[in-house]
Amino acid sequence: MARFEDMKLFMRIVEKQSFTAGGREMRLSPAVVSSRMARFEKYLNTRLFNRTTRQVRVTPAGRRYYEDCQEILHKVTQAELRLEDEDSEHAGIIRLSASTSFGRSFLKNFVNQYTQKYPKISIHLQITDHLVDLIGQDIDLAFRVAPLLDMSFKAKIFHPIKRYVCGSPAYFEQYGVPENPKALDQHNCLLLRFPGSRLFKWPFQNEDGDYEIAVSGSLESDCGDVLLDWAVDGRGLVLKAWNEVEELVKEGKLQVILSDDLQQNSYLHAIYPYHTHLPARVRLFLDEIAQSIKKSATW
């Protein structure tokens, strides 16, 4: 058991690139973390970290060991989950990740109601527009609005989500309306940027098929809500799902352009790894949120 705890601590340090931050997540003091890792390296007879006064970097051997630890701990977790009885569907922890738009507009309210209905269920909700390592972060379900690109995951598809290019009336008055997708290179496009993001290429279609336009601009953020605020303020054009801009369009704060040219291949879906055994409590949660989404006018 102690070895597994040391493996977990080692992984947290690698992910946080800090002894202090990694230990904080496991409620351990820096002195205890340092002592345990020194003992762990001695046990493995391998240097896992290169330490300086300013930073901690994992060694090549440590990086390989980290990848092995991910697989080992995931298998241990899955083995334990398979032993759970069906009676546990109303108790335990469910770890969720969701995009900003879905997390704030729908999921947070559903979680509030769900945990009142099932008080022995604990929800750990991560809201981020970043790509998430489901296995590395022990996420049970990730909710995303995007094309289905990664075939290494299973997906519960709820329904298609239409996306639109939008800008404010003030922006179009000052800079004009692009007549076609290629004209976007003359406009300031607001970009969602984070490692692995593809949203600096916007998807379009014509009689010859699907294609992408590389866009650019002076403002970037890793938060979709920030981009939407900038668009309303007249700072540029934004690519957004309809549920995010519907009210703003109806209020006249944003206008839709190029709607006939956009690919419409995005879906609201929940994903989880193919090899993952879904505990009863997660299956129940997925079933109930699917019914709630089906009844939702917005989603």
For residues 149 and 157, give the distance between their C-alpha atoms in angstroms, rounded to a whole number: 13
Q: Are 175 and 185 in contact (CB under 8 A)?
A: no
Q: What is the predicted pLDDT for the residue at 265? A: 64
CATH level 2 (architecture), domain 86-159+267-295: 3-Layer(aba) Sandwich (3.40)
What are the CA-CA distances from residue 135 to residues 22, 35, 89, 132, 166 (Å)?
A: 18, 28, 21, 9, 35
- Residue 236 gets the label, from left (phi > 0), alpha (psi -120 to 50) or beta, of left
Q: What is the predicted pLDDT for the residue at 169? A: 95
What are the CA-CA distances from residue 91 to residues 58, 107, 126, 268 (Å)?
A: 37, 19, 20, 26
Q: Are 160 and 266 in contact (CB under 8 A)?
A: yes
Domains 2-82 and 86-159+267-295 share a fold: no
Q: What is the predicted pLDDT for the residue at 104? A: 83
Q: What is the predicted pLDDT for the residue at 78? A: 67
Q: What is the predicted pLDDT for the residue at 210? A: 80
> What is the chain's pLDDT, residue by residue, as a tens digit (299 residues)?
678 888 888 988 888 888 888 888 778 888 899 899 999 999 999 999 988 767 788 898 998 898 888 888 777 776 766 665 445 668 888 999 988 888 888 888 899 999 999 998 999 988 887 777 777 777 888 888 766 555 556 777 777 778 889 999 999 999 999 988 889 989 999 988 766 555 678 888 887 778 888 888 999 888 888 999 999 999 999 998 888 888 899 999 999 998 877 776 677 888 887 555 678 888 889 889 988 888 776 66
Q: What is the predicted pLDDT for the residue at 6? A: 87
227-238 per-residue burial string, b: 16 or more CB within 10 A, e: under 16: bbebbbebbbbb
- Would you kindly state where each structural domain of the chain is located, as residue ranges? 2-82, 86-159+267-295, 163-263
CATH 3.40.640.10 fits 163-263, yes or no: no
Bridge partners (DSSP) of residue 213 are: 202
Give the fold, CATH level 3, of 2-82.
Arc Repressor Mutant, subunit A (1.10.10)
